[in-house]
Structure 1
Amino acid sequence: MIPQVGGGTARMLVKYFGSAEKVFTAPKDVLEKVPRVGDALLKKILDHRAEALRQAEEVIRRAEKEEVQLLYYTNPLYPDRLRDLPDAPLLLYYKGNADLNASKAISVVGTRKSTDYGRVVTEQLIEGLVQHEALIISGLAFGIDIMAHKAAMKFGLPTVGVMANSVETVYPAAHQRDAEKMLQNGGLLSEFPFGTKPDAPRFPARNRIIAGMSDCTIVVESTSKGGSLISADIAHSYDREVMAVPGPITAETSQGCNQLIRSLKAVPYTKPKDLEELLNWDKALTPNSVPKARVPALDLSGFPEEEQRVLRVLHQAGPTHIDVLSRHTQFSMGQLSSVLFTLEMSGVVKAMPGKLFMLL
């Protein structure tokens, strides 16, 4: 709420001071010593701190009234998959009861001009995720998005709608009843403050949250320039898995999916096993699971603590997907990548296709 303090600057300030509270209580002479805080930014902070706190109090009161949770990026309930991405929102407005850090989370997106083929595929796809108790994420839009939410509710899976407007208003209004049902086993999520309307530029911003919150983004149907292609591109840029459902070459609503597969930006989805193999769900250790088989002891002496944490997981679980490693070790993706690189260079760990890693 302070002018010129964007996400990067806010994170830098919180990291420097140790908490957001200390940023608001720090005297001028201390703020002047902070790297990247010049005279102009210093003046903005000092001039607007009191007003920002007053505005924040209004938001907190509104959130309590609307039963909305305010998830700052330091909040343990903030989605871990999203937290360390370079453009992750500082603050999320969340209404619902689903675990945003579910061990398995899949985004299902697609065109607003969906067909019966898209509906059937979406239902089959969601039904295949029941055994994995996956969290289903989509954008509450017409077409494939709302079909994914409805299918999740039908099969008893939690589902979260990420919105391009503030959470107190459902857009499109036609999905009001579905959104209310989602609150019983799922929720509504947005980065936009109360009173925000669904303007066009906010939809791509919404899409990055959909892509960032999941292990894999699946595009069911898409035209050649569909908005779901943006979600796929963003997921690809985050080094997350992307799948696309192939369709008839004569169908406009399959052009985008076929294009993603042709350009190697997406793996074809034809059955649940395709997804399970891609994410190694049939083999990987999940954060809440405890290996029961006896495993020979592993000598970790001589390894730093960070490397030991990674080696323990790989020793117990066998080949493991990097996303599962990140959640189980509680390392950020950047920190984990650095540790894995060191272990690879040492000849201890080997990278395998599909973002899997194994002990040598």
Structure 2
Amino acid sequence: MSDQDLFYLLALMKVEGVGDIIAKKLITNCGSAESIFKTGLNKIAAIDGIGSALVNNLKDKSIFEKADKELKFIQSNNIQVSYFQDDIYPERLKHCIDSPVLIFTAGNIDLKNRKTISIVGTRQITSYGIEFCRKFIEDLVPLDPVIISGFAYGVDIMAHQLAMEYNLQTVGVLAHGLNQIYPKNHKKYMAKMEENGGFITEFWSTSQPDRENFVRRNRIVAGISEATIVIESADKGGSLITANLANDYNRDVFAVPGRVTDKYSQGCNDLIKTQKANVLTSAADLVYVLNWDLEKKSKAVQKQLFVELEPDEQMVYDFLIKNGKELLDSIALECNLPIFKISGILLNMELKGVIRPLPGKTFEAI
């Protein structure tokens, strides 16, 4: 994208009354952001859903001064810009009707053809949440997923820290411009995150971390990933908003169940109870529902000689050796094991390199 194209896109996004949906409609009808400003106002007014007030706002010359200032900030700080029609724009986010027209990134982010999950939850993470989050991310390491979160206190920063600890790419979605960081205490994590991952935002350098920006931020967290995982949440909170947005985008949502008496399990339990989220008791649940294939990743654990199997694992392995390829349901039935348990057993066996998953939730021994 040329500087001229970016300049007009920035100007368009500063027109009062123009949001992401309206901007896309105008661009679709006129061909480009620049063409919008060079098209007769009568033709603009004739576009379905475009009112006279918005047309008059297009006459505001101050938007070009603001656009020029932001363009200079972008250029001088080496900020990467993705346009919603570009190939480099996150593919899953493209399919969200209200996705940002422009996103600004810093670091070394690579989401193309990657397994990507968002992990969210309370800012008051408990020892239960920390323990689950660590085991969950550790078990996903062979799949090399990208871990997305909001860089806030609690579950967010824990997910980022664990991703860095296990050398996974991690991306923080910010509710402000790239000229600052919030909360300030998390500035110490920025450099390492940018080495393998980084930061995404739709907000300009003039934006502050205002309350309403966090809700807007959450739609990116929900839309950019294959699935959203809620680790812990009270009965109200931003993570529940993110989960609802993910449902609206037809993405999978998972929630970690907890005791009914625990304050920060109430939101997760309610998501599960109302069938807005899958139950998440281990990484195996995620792998099963998303049908992820361990074998295709370069970091997948290869088969080891003389692997030690647990009794249930040995039973499943013997069954697959004898019968060849089998459906997950058939394995559970013939081995007399419940589905929730067989999922974890099969994941552990994949990690040990003794079986591999096939399309259609089928497995075979290696």
CA RMSD of aligned residues (A): 2.4
| Contact 1:102–1:134 (CA under 8 A) maintained in structure 2 | no
Higher gyration radius (CA)? 2
Is 1:131–2:142 an aligned residue pair?
yes
Q: 1:340 — aligned with what?
A: none
| Match for residue 251 of structure 1 among 262, 273, 277 | 262
Unpaired runs of at least 5, structure 1: 287-318, 320-355
Residue from 265, 285, 289 that aligns with 1:278:
289
Aligned to 2:72: 61
Contact 2:143 2:294 in 1 (8 A): no
Give the conservation status (yes or no) of the 8 Å contact 1:102–1:135.
no
Structure 2 residue 53 is the aligned partner of structure 1 residue 16: no
Cα separation, 1, equivalents of 2:172 and 2:93: 15
Q: How does 1:326-337 map to 2 (within 5 A)?
A: none
Alignment of 1:156-235 (within 5 A): 156-235=167-246
Q: How many positions carry a matched residue from both structures?
A: 287
- Counterpart of 2:16, as a letter, is P
The aligned amino acid for 2:78 is E
1:202-261 CA distances to partner (integer Å, 9 max, x unpaired)? 212111110111101001111122321111111111111000111223322212111211
Given the superposition, is the C-alpha separation of residues 188 and 207 from structure 1 closer, same or farther in structure 2, using an over 3 Å criterion?
Answer: same
1:183–1:42 CA distance, 2 compared to 1 (3 A): same
- Structure 1 residue 64: Cα displacement: 2.0
Q: How big is the shift at 1:36?
A: 4.1
Displacement of 1:57 in angstroms is: 2.3
Q: Report the CA distance between 1:138 and its aligned residue.
A: 0.3
Q: Name the counterpart of 1:6.
A: 19
Q: What letter matches 2:26 in structure 1?
A: L
On the 8 A contact 1:129/1:272 being kept in 2, the answer is: yes
Paired residue type of 2:18: V
- The whole-number CA distance in structure 2 between the counterparts of 1:105 and 1:274 is 16
Matched to 1:156, the amino acid is N
* Amino acid of the structure 1 residue aligned with 2:126: T
Q: Distance in 1 between matches of 2:170 and 2:81?
A: 19
Partner of 1:238: 249
Q: Within 2, Cα distance between the matches of 1:91 and 1:227?
A: 23
CA apart distance, 1:39? 3.9
Task: Give the SS at the match of 2:118.
Answer: strand
One-letter amino acid matched to 2:56: K
1:323 aligns with none
Shift of 1:6: 2.4
Name the SS for the 1:9 alignment partner: helix
Share of identical aligned residues, percent?
A: 40
Structure 1: how far apart are the matches of 2:262 and 2:52?
58
The answer as to whether partners of 1:109 and 1:218 remain within 8 angstroms in 2 is yes
User: Do residues 116 (structure 1) and 127 (structure 2) align?
Assistant: yes
Could you tell me which runs of 5 or more consecutive residues in structure 2 were left unpaired when the two chains were aligned: 1-13, 298-326, 328-359, 362-366
The answer to whether 1:26 aligns with 2:39 is: yes
Residue type of the partner of 1:41? L
Distance (Å, rounded) in 1 between the aligned partners of 2:126 and 2:241: 20
Shift of 1:104: 1.0
Q: Aligned equivalents of 1:263 and 1:43: distance in 2? A: 46
State TM-score, norm by structure 2.
0.73
Where does residue 330 of structure 1 map in the other structure? none
Structure 1 CA distance for aligned equivalents of residues 213 and 53 of structure 2: 28
Q: Deviations over 1:158-206 (max 9, x none)?
A: 1111111222211111100112211111111111111211111221211
Shift of 1:52: 2.8
Show CA shifts across 1:67-109 (max 9, x none).
2222222222221211221221222121121113342110001
Which residue identity lines up with residue 39 of structure 2 in the other structure? Answer: A
Letter in 2 for 1:42: V
Larger CA deviation: 153-162 vs 117-126: 117-126
Judged with a 3 Å threshold, the aligned counterparts in structure 2 of structure 1 residues 27 and 282 are, in CA distance, closer, same or farther, namely same
